Amino acid sequence: MSILVTGGAGYIGSHTCLELLNAGYEIVVIDNLSNSKFETLKRISELAKKDFKFYNGDLLNQKTIEEVFSKNNIDAVIHFAGLKSVNESIEAPLHYYHNNISGTLSLCQMMKKYNVKKMIFSSSASVYGMPKNVPITENSPLVPINPYGRTKLMIEEILRDLYISDHSWGITLLRYFNPIGAHESGRIGEDPNDIPNNLMPYINQVAIGKREKVNVFGKDYDTHDGTGVRDYIHVVDLAKGHLRALEMVIRTTGIDAFNLGTGIGYSVLDLIKSYEKATSKKIPYTLTHRRPGDIDKCYADTRKAKEKLGWKAIKSLEDMCRDAWRWQKNNPNGYNK
Ligand code: NAD
Ligand code: UFG
């Protein structure tokens, strides 16, 4: 079975490509490398001991996508390609709406033309905005609070309309919580450009000596220690969730959304402590002001994924920290040698 992976050179895509190859799927990857490196693809092949086809192309380019579908017998698509920075999306909303939404539209048009009607879409917990209650179920109100989150919700709605128009589609919307960690080989991992916005890559850079200390955003949240609580999930667990979703979507039609998280909320200080324990590295930090747009707590109700996909995250916070650090230590400059 041949799976087209859009954005397969990226952080979550690369880990999923590896799991797919290890499970015996053929893959075809398309990525414009706008936020990733070719080196990642070489490492996926090396780890899986298998080759695969790669198109260095943009989803916005209809000609390239047509080439992908006309030259390969694609059975299903896992659609990761998109821009993902909340801050950037506030500064450049048109760029975000264009890339994420138009890219998805052109992909879907080509899928329809080539009669490929199975898709897994990378949505995000950001579709829930500021949840009133935790844990967050899939039925919680969908009120994203930034352009990035709105691109995800709009795409979910587009895909729902597509299904309504043609019931032979099978579409799974996966709402990720906070993916962190890396493959246990230490060969693939998260490689942010510039100063990391997200907590784990920032901690990694403090641990390797690139940054002095972590700025902990907010100390007076309504949480057990006053710092923000999130549902961190190991990227390999997350990647495996895609394989369960794929198995389901291949044999069914319909559209459904699933939270992919662990269901456990940890604070910023919990994560720092766990990292120190797992790696024996000291992580200096200072408590500072809240970051605009942040919420106090966000963690998933994971029952639906367990019941319907037969998937559950199994790796602990310490596993996530240990694997994140192994990746950082072995690749101090990410994929740049
Ligand atoms: P990433 O940036 O590492 O990967 C996305 C990949 O898509 C990159 O390799 C990029 O080059 C590629 N891409 C972007 N626009 C493209 C286009 N128009 N054509 C072709 N390729 C394009 O991000 P990630 O962390 O791996 O996230 C994957 C998906 O999951 C994204 O859609 C993201 O919004 C979503 N998501 C991520 C998180 C997270 O915290 N990492 C959380 C929730 C949802
Ligand atoms: N934080 C710090 N210091 C930092 C960075 C983050 O204290 O330097 C705190 C934040 O305030 C928050 C927690 O660490 O309490 C996690 O922050 P991240 O930036 O790592 O992650 P977010 O929960 O803010 O957002 C992430 C992705 C979004 C996605 C969301 C839900 O960046 O794209 O998870 O999936 F929408």
The preferred substitution site among 173, 205, 259, 268 for testing ligand 2, maximizing ligand atoms within 8 Å of CB, is 268
Write the DSSP symbol of residue 288: E
The label of the residue with tokens 């500021």 reads: 130
The pLDDT of residue 3: 99
**Residue 275 catalytic?**
no
Number of the ligand 2 atom closest to the C-alpha atom of 177: 35
Ligand nearest to the CA of 199: 2
pLDDT surpassing 90 at residue 89: yes
- Which protein residue's CA is at the shortest distance from atom 16 of ligand 2? 199
Average pLDDT on 165-182 reads 98
Using H for helix, E for strand and C for coil, what is the string for 170-183? EEEEEEECEEECCC
Ligand nearest to the CA of 190: 1
Residue 321 falls inside a structural domain: no
**Beta strand segments in 17-117, E:** 26-31, 53-56, 76-79
Q: Residues lining ligand 2, CB < 6 A?
A: 84, 86, 124-126, 176-178, 197-199, 202, 214-218, 228, 230, 268, 291, 294
CA of 10 to the centre of ligand 1 (A): 6
The pLDDT of residue 142: 98
Contact, 257 vs 251, CB < 8 A?
A: no
The preferred substitution site among 5, 6, 12, 85 for testing ligand 1, maximizing ligand atoms within 8 Å of CB, is 12
Set 55, 148, 176, 202: catalytic member: 148
For residue 162, the enclosing domain spans 2-182+231-263
The pLDDT of residue 51: 98
Ligand nearest to the CA of 88: 2
Residue 336 falls inside a structural domain: no
CA distances, 210 to each of 216, 271, 327 (Å) = 17, 19, 15
pLDDT in tens, 235-281: 999 999 999 999 999 999 999 999 999 999 999 999 999 999 999 99
Instruction: Look at the pTM and tell me if it is higher than 0.85.
Output: yes
pLDDT surpassing 80 at residue 337: no
Characterize 41-58 residue by residue with b for buried, 16 or more Cβ atoms within 10 angstroms of its Cβ, and e for exposed.
Answer: bebbbebbebebebbebb
pLDDT surpassing 90 at residue 87: yes
- Confidence band (pLDDT; 50, 70, 90) for 99? very high
What CATH code is carried by the domain that includes residue 238?
Answer: 3.40.50.720
Residue 327 falls inside a structural domain: no
Return the half-sphere exposure (C-beta side, CA atoms, 13 A cut-off) of residue 51: 1
Into how many domains does the chain fold?
Answer: 1
The proportion of the chain whose per-residue pLDDT surpasses 90, expressed as a percent, equals: 99
Residue 216 falls inside a structural domain: no
Residue 164 falls inside a structural domain: yes
The pLDDT of residue 139: 98
pLDDT in tens, 191-225: 999 899 999 999 999 999 999 999 999 999 999 99
32 lines ligand 1 (CB under 6 A): yes
Residue 65 falls inside a structural domain: yes
Residue 226 falls inside a structural domain: no
The pLDDT of residue 18: 99
Residue 296 falls inside a structural domain: no
- State residue 186 phi and psi, 5-degree precision: 75, 15
The proportion of the chain whose per-residue pLDDT surpasses 70, expressed as a percent, equals: 100
